[in-house]
Structure 1
Amino acid sequence: MPLNIIGTAIFEGTDSIPYFHTIKKVAPYVLASVLVKYWSRGPSNTWERKLHGKVYLVTGATSQGMGTSVVHQMARLGAQLIFLTREIDEWSIEWLEGFKEETDNELVYFEKCDLADLYQVRKFATKWLDNSPPRRLDGVIVMSGDMEPLGVPKFAPPVRKLSADGLELQMATNFAGVFHLLDLLQPSFKAQPPDRDVRIIVSTCWLQVLGDIRVEDPLWQKGAYKSALKFFSSSKLQLALCMLELQRRINTGISENAEEKKIERSGKNVKVCVVQPGTMRSQSLRRVLSNGSVFLLLTLYCVLLYPFLWLFTKSGRRGAQSVLYALNTPELEEVNLKDDRAKYVVDCSIVKFARKEFEDPELQKQLYENTSRDILALEKKMAKKRKSAGVKR
């Protein structure tokens, strides 16, 4: 067919080609759209390694977006996966059976652990650590998150949703729960053999650049709730800052005894990586654009905006590429490391953090210590509350 068209254009002229003038007018727009889509989809991960026998804890695996795409690839590569989920019900069990069949991998399990509930996080971490010898752990991949509707001032102001511990839901899910899990699992990371490549991968969002940092009130328990976006962006920013401190603690906090430090391993086999996958057509984006309304979801998102969103944003599978890059790239292996800092991955490349706070270790240390302090205080408070109410969990 193309040869016939070219031959007709050469020997008979373009006027002999049906609809040529219409095609000529439309072609530049089609070409421009193709180029924009090629740019917006982002690069692809080109690294791959065998994951047979490796064990990973994963959050956000059932999102049907980026998280599901990542774990599908990991399962096909032979990894043993433990999905942390809010609830284990009939739907989740059916989903898991289908996942095993699709990936031909039976080493996939569910563990109940709601990151918005500090008690559940501690219960899971304690259960994980209460094992001798220490359980194998090749990495933790955090892809879960919560982004609430922004609201419309005066007409439909944002509603402050609370976690089981009384924290703002986004701050609890995106920051406090993830921080608590990784902080508690430090002994497990440090117990892994020095030749085991352990990776802690935490997804973030470019909206973190809009966030604020409350060093003295890191859980944002004080103050008015004026903007859902501010809580979301701040939760992502504070988590990323704490990940830099977590890397330092894993590297240098092996032992408090100075002489023992000389014979302890460096901790460089454990690498913390913050991944910014880009703007995706995710559940969070749908919830924000529709403001939680089914009517707006069907009209605004699915009809009016979807062509533009398809053109300028990524699918979950494309967003997964940066996470898979962080998981597979040899650049994070100890032998190839150029420095000890936590890494930041954007579009399948290691880049520098944007904000100046990422160059302030003292700020990161103080934020980390205060977050740990406030979480512990909140846990004690909730434990007393459960005891007085006679609640068994």
Structure 2
Amino acid sequence: MAKRKWTVADMPLQTGRLAIITGATSGIGYEAALALAGAGAHVVLAARDEGKAQRAMWSIRQVHPAASLEFRPLDTARLSSVREFGTRWRDERPPIDVLLLNAGIASVPRREETADGFERQLVTNYLGHFTLTGLLLADVRLSSASRIVEVASLAHRRGQIRFDDLQLRRSYSAQDAYRQSKLAMLMFGLELDRRLRAAGSPILSVPVHPGVAKTDITRRGDRAGAVERLAGRAIFSLLGQSAARGALPLLYGATSPDAHGGHYYGPDGLWEAWGYPTTADVAPHARDQATAKRLWSISEDLTGVSYL
């Protein structure tokens, strides 16, 4: 990559392009929606809370009055919601140029199991997105400008795929669950790109991470205890960059002609915690293709979605 710092000003015009962003009502997802809408894209805010989505769209239109925006309900923690989203999209079949897989949660202190029988962080951050991508892949425009962008995390470095206890029923901690979900997201992004290349598809899969950004991902309302909330806020206040800066790697991966499929992008500053987009470090265990293939197979079995 060029040494010059990449910013939103370097983003190509997005007129005529359609972007779906999960978790677009706040934080880096909102900032990505704001920037893409400002560049001319039609942005679909795929989110759980319609009220928050409407407020986000109102806020975006205060900055970009001509923004083309749309809300569609999606809860990545519920596979029925993901399937409903995919079914409606397939019925209408508008081509997708950017699928930005951003929705996520963290700091759930006690293990929670969803109606589908999944550990909540794993399904919200990873399995729901695996399902969504499989359902929408046929509607992604066949072009090298088309991007599937998976939001991973620095936390992947200490993550482990617990094949012997994937849902963490025997042993749970909030951090282990988060690290596993983000490692899974990164491995999914890398494996998806390998499969796209093998299939001769021009679509790029580009995993990214925001560094340490000041967002509400660690504020889980009644779920998070006081200690977790205070610790999370202290760390992010001291080390975190703005959500707008944290969104830059997402926007780079989604739009830059210089972004490559199967590469990982994050901030260029100290420890990759803040800064401008650059190639990021992938922990060696995240490059293990045998583990990635095993995870893919298990994910297909768990979600009932098969592709590539």
* TM-score, normalised via structure 2 length: 0.84
**Counterpart residue number, 1:13:** none
Contact persistence 2:122–2:167 (CA under 8 A):
no
1:73 to 35, 40, 53: 35
CA apart distance, 1:309: 4.7
Kindly indicate whether residue 226 of structure 2 is the aligned counterpart of residue 243 of structure 1.
Answer: no
Contact persistence 2:60–2:67 (CA under 8 A):
no
**Counterpart residue number, 1:345:** 265
**Counterpart residue number, 1:326:** 253
CA apart distance, 1:67: 1.6
**Counterpart residue number, 2:11:** 48
Contact persistence 2:28–2:244 (CA under 8 A):
yes
Contact persistence 1:83–1:111 (CA under 8 A):
yes
Q: In 2, Cα distance between the equivalents of 1:160 and 1:318?
A: 32
2:217 to 265, 284, 301: 284
SS of equivalent residue, structure 1 residue 208: helix
CA apart distance, 1:95: 3.8
**Counterpart residue number, 1:141:** 100
Kindly indicate whether residue 136 of structure 2 is the aligned counterpart of residue 185 of structure 1.
Answer: yes
Q: Structure 2 unaligned runs (5+)?
A: 268-276
SS of equivalent residue, structure 2 residue 10: coil
Kindly indicate whether residue 307 of structure 2 is the aligned counterpart of residue 373 of structure 1.
Answer: no
**Counterpart residue number, 2:274:** none
Q: In 2, Cα distance between the equivalents of 1:316 and 1:138?
A: 23
Q: In 1, Cα distance between the equivalents of 2:264 and 2:131?
A: 21
CA apart distance, 1:76: 0.9
* TM-score, normalised via structure 1 length: 0.67
Contact persistence 2:30–2:56 (CA under 8 A):
no
**Counterpart residue number, 1:199:** 147
CA apart distance, 1:329: 2.0
Deviations 1:139-176 (A, max 9, x none): 11122110024xxxxxxxx3212223231111110111
**Counterpart residue number, 2:22:** 59
Contact persistence 1:175–1:236 (CA under 8 A):
yes
Contact persistence 1:216–1:370 (CA under 8 A):
no
Contact persistence 2:24–2:53 (CA under 8 A):
no
What is the 5 A alignment of 1:62-211?
62-63=25-26, 65-89=27-51, 91-131=52-92, 134-149=93-108, 158-189=109-140, 192-194=141-143, 197-211=145-159
CA apart distance, 1:59: 1.0
CA apart distance, 1:111: 0.4
Amino acid of the residue matched to residue 83 of structure 2? R
Q: In 1, Cα distance between the equivalents of 2:180 and 2:142?
A: 35
Change (3 A) 1:373 1:104: same
Change (3 A) 1:225 1:86: farther
Indicate the structure with greater helix content: 1
SS of equivalent residue, structure 2 residue 304: helix
Q: In 1, Cα distance between the equivalents of 2:161 and 2:231?
A: 33
SS of equivalent residue, structure 2 residue 138: helix
**Counterpart residue number, 1:14:** none
Q: Structure 1 unaligned runs (5+)?
A: 1-42, 150-157, 254-265, 378-393
Amino acid of the residue matched to residue 157 of structure 2? V
CA apart distance, 1:60: 1.7
Q: In 1, Cα distance between the equivalents of 2:30 and 2:163?
A: 34
Identity %: 26
Q: How many residues align?
A: 290
SS of equivalent residue, structure 1 residue 124: helix
**Counterpart residue number, 1:260:** none
Q: In 1, Cα distance between the equivalents of 2:132 and 2:228?
A: 36
Contact persistence 1:76–1:104 (CA under 8 A):
no
